[in-house]
Structure 1
Amino acid sequence: MYPITLTKQLDDIEICGMRLKDLEHPDFEYPWEIIAWQRENALKIVELRITDYELREKNVYVGKNVAIDQFVIFNTDQGVIIIDDCAHVYPFSYIEGPCYIGAHTEIKSHSQIRKNTSIGHHCKIGGEVSGSIFQPYTNKAHHGFVGDSYIGSWVNLGAGTTTSNLKNTYGPVRIEYSGEKIDTGMQFLGCIIGDYVKTAINTSIYTGKIIGVYAQLFGCVTENIGSFVMDTHEGKKVFELESAIRAQKRSFERRGIEQKEEDIEFLKRVFEETKDERSFISV
């Protein structure tokens, strides 16, 4: 299940505010199967939670201390919308069910949150998203499109970052995975992004690409990118461990979280375990 299991157990992945271990699901062999399963079952998963929330308007359920500004449009024709505790939806946003918005998450002005989307807690989301899974503490605060994708925790997508989720041929998406080219059978499939990934402004990611933990992306991403790899206009470079540790500390501080020694040791272990992904880079 690379790369999403590098930094978390599969059962700890959050969908609609619930961990996979608390949901009835099939065995997953490949990471994109989670995207397909969530997309097909989003309505049932969201409806499991509605008794925990207050009905704000037809098929829109909210937690405690939720702020919904003026000129927000909710479309519940195809399913329920849940907005969890202390979330804030800014003006001129459009939200389509079935959809879950996690606690303390901000939906920025002029956002389009389309159906079958699950957004974790403490995220900042802007632009357009559709059929995607966002893990906690991830930012996509600006314009750009993310469709039919899995986005890990502590990811920051720079302004204008866009994922392709449909081939020009309209055929099924094929993914390079563990040295094989695999037909996913999915017509709509974006990308799979591991934890701590950062993208520069206006980054474009081709259909069906897999991005490893702490990769740094720039420009047009046409192939899979390994963990701790910087994909720059000057070629690929190693994102050094010490830089990753400093970046993690700064990210944590912005959210009021203390970086502990166990966090640092964990990054060191992941860096070591993924060294083969960077073996092609000349030092």
Structure 2
Amino acid sequence: MRTVPISDADDPRVAPYVSIRERDLAGRSDGRFIVEGKVTLSILLERSRFEIESVFIGRSRLEPLSEILAQVPPEVPVYVAPQAVMDQVAGFPIHRGVLACARKGQPFGVEKLLDAETLLVLNGISNHDNVGAAFRNAAAFGAGGVLLDEQSCDPLYRKSIRVSAGAALWLPFVQAGQGEDHITGLQSAGFDIWAMTPRTTAAELHQLKPSAKTAILLGPEGPGLEDALIDRCRPVRIAMAGGFDSINVATAGAIALAYCHATSMAGDD
């Protein structure tokens, strides 16, 4: 482990970490992204497909994180700073005292996902917490990957990674195109696409049997999926108590994914 002391917030070596909240929201154009926290740093080092560029930690975290930091490749610098300097660089208090910078590299093509039995497809999901939770659910219930349209937020946004419990760092995903393109491509590849909707005319989830290849399509909270997209797929709803017709989008995805996973496991038995 190559530790490098940082005593000045203007040190150019920690430039990727400057004002990270504002830079993340504005969108980074340099192919980098920031990971925050002990758990996600561990996953970035142990099973991520992304190249780590540097680590930036508070001085007090050096000893407690020694086992994790021992996994940092020798050519990757570990910048160590007093907490006050770290906070000044980041632009807000970094309570966890753990940051890392990685590179996105070349994105996957959609063909990377087409051999999966179950996919999660996100359309217009602009909330970072929901995207992160959707990735966590997809990983928990054995989805083979996640397909996002261009309007959905970046799963490698710092908060999305943290909410995903690091799943966004290793679960295959593709972010490209529009919902119409996704439906056409997935149907051509043999996927039965379940468009999750509160429509009363939609089939109830528990009455369905997943196909050999099933894609769960989720839309934004509030407006939901556009009718034109739903009508090209199999409309599916989750039965709920009377007088209530909607739940959080990530929760809806979790229920549908869990049902597919449980049904698949029962079939294997």
TM-score of the two chains, using structure 2 as the length reference: 0.25
By relative contact order (CA 8 Å, sep 6+), the higher-ranking structure is 2
Higher helix share: 2
TM-score of the two chains, using structure 1 as the length reference: 0.24
